[in-house]
Amino acid sequence: MILKIHEVGNPVLRKAARSLSADEIRSRDFQDLIGYMRDTPGVGLAAPQIGESLQITVIEDKAEYQKGVTAEQLTERQRVPVDFHAIINPQIELLTPPHPSFFEGCLSIPRLMAIVARSRSVRVTNVDEHGEQRVIEAAGWYAWILQHEIYRLHGRLYTDIMQPETLTTIDEPPAQ
């Protein structure tokens, strides 16, 4: 099943998504939704991006996504592969102050990117796709992904907190 990615302007992206019950998480329909979300492009996807106002995001940063990124950039961004997982009903705690470091883009805001201030490390309390409680401690690129996706569950997009003067297209990225 190919899911339609909703773009900026669609009201579902600006709504706070609702949390899910344990029964909903264990349901066949919900487990199917996770599978469908897994098959979309990008390192993360939040349910509102596919029109579902639910507190779920899926994340996966495959090694193949890092091809074309220099070793220096991987080190600077603390970017390593992240296995697929679902994050449900997350609560995020910033462990360091936000710092503007990297350009960020979004499937719901195609062809654009800008520098966004994000915390370099976070703690996320959540439920996984099996209904189990877990805590994720993340740093670097993974922390950026978590913030980007979890903020979207609250109706916030990166354009709300970007440095406006850095907004550019992916076709004309400035030198970093």
Phi, psi angles (nearest 5°) of residue 8: -50, 140
Reading the block at residue 85, the tokens are 């997982």
| Alpha carbons 132 and 26: distance in angstroms, whole number | 10
Q: What is the CA radius of gyration of the chain?
A: 16
Task: Quickly list H helices, 57-139.
Answer: 71-76
Active site residues: 149
How far from chain centre, in Å, is Cα 6?
15
How far from chain centre, in Å, is Cα 115?
15
| Alpha carbons 37 and 2: distance in angstroms, whole number | 9
* Cβ-based neighbours of 78, under 8 Å, separated by 6 or more: 120, 139, 140, 141, 142
Report the DSSP beta bridge partners of residue 94.
122
